[in-house]
Amino acid sequence: MLTNNVYIGLGSNLDNPEQQVIDGIKALAALPQTQLIAVSSLYASAPIGPQDQPPFINAVALLNTELSPIALLDALQTLEQDAGRIRTRHWGERTLDLDILLFGEQTIEHPRLNVPHPFMRERRFVLEPLLEIAPKAHLPCGTLLAQDLTHTMAQDIWHHCTLTLDSLGSDAP
Ligand code: ROI
């Protein structure tokens, strides 16, 4: 069966964000036809968007999956709902955000899904954890994402804690 390496961005700034992201990673590991391959550290980051909201916890996970992009999107949206996702306002606070950043070497333009994620190149809270687990991560056109990091250095982000696959428990390989 054909599989793809897929990078998922996780973010939360409500209801114990650290636990939301850890539970989100465990839920990714439990998806059907999918393996969790790697997980970044947790990063704390100042909000992009309205500033009167709490800081975020962010991470990136690498999955290997047989799911199609839209099947994966459906699964992620179900996980967001399970986490009690609240959308208060545009670019506002959220309990759990799960974004498909890269899906193999595919470029996807679909009414429900754009990949590579349209904003990933300008967000340090995405690039920093992504490059931690995949220093050579690149766009389908071959552009290395490491080159974008320099443009995002003004954005505040702090290493929060290191995660390991073992520390996530028996759901992970
Ligand atoms: N800001 C940060 N720092 N981290 C996020 O995950 C995040 N997610 C978002 C918006 C509201 C754009 N800002 C964010 O969706």
CA–CA dist 64, 31 (Å, integer)? 11
Q: Which amino acid type is present at position 151?
A: H
Q: Is the pLDDT of residue 47 over 80?
A: yes
| CATH top class, domain 4-168 | alpha beta
Residue nearest to atom 2 of ligand 1 (CA): 47
Residue-level pLDDT at 173: 44
pLDDT (mean) for 46-70? 97
CA 137 to chain centre: 14
Residue-level pLDDT at 30: 97
Q: Is the pLDDT of residue 92 over 60?
A: yes
pLDDT (mean) for 114-139? 98
* Ligand 1 and 47: CB distance under 6 A: yes
Reported as half-sphere exposure (CB side, CA atoms, 13 A), residue 50 has a value of 11
Strand duo 42-45 + 108-110: pairing: unpaired
Q: Is the pLDDT of residue 172 over 60?
A: no
* Ligand 1 and 43: CB distance under 6 A: no
Percent of the chain having pLDDT more than 70?
97
Catalytic residue among 94, 123, 124, 148: 94
CA 13 to chain centre: 14
Mean pLDDT of the residues in the chain:
95
pLDDT (mean) for 112-135? 98
Q: Which atom of ligand 1 is nearest to the CA of 12?
A: 6
Reduced 3-state DSSP string for the chain: CCCEEEEEEEEECCCCHHHHHHHHHHHHHCCCCEEEEEECCEEEECCCCCCCCCCEEEEEEEEEECCCHHHHHHHHHHHHHHCCCCCCCCCCCCCCEEEEEEECCECEEECCEEECCCCHHHCHHHHHHHHHHCCCCECCCCCEHHHHHHHHCCCCEEEEECCCCHHHCCCCC
Instruction: Assess whether 85 carries a catalytic annotation.
Output: yes
Confidence of residue 97 (pLDDT cuts 50, 70, 90): very high
Residue-level pLDDT at 35: 98
| For ligand 1, mutation pick of 48, 80, 99 (most atoms within 8 Å of CB) | 48
Q: Which atom of ligand 1 is nearest to the CA of 50?
A: 11
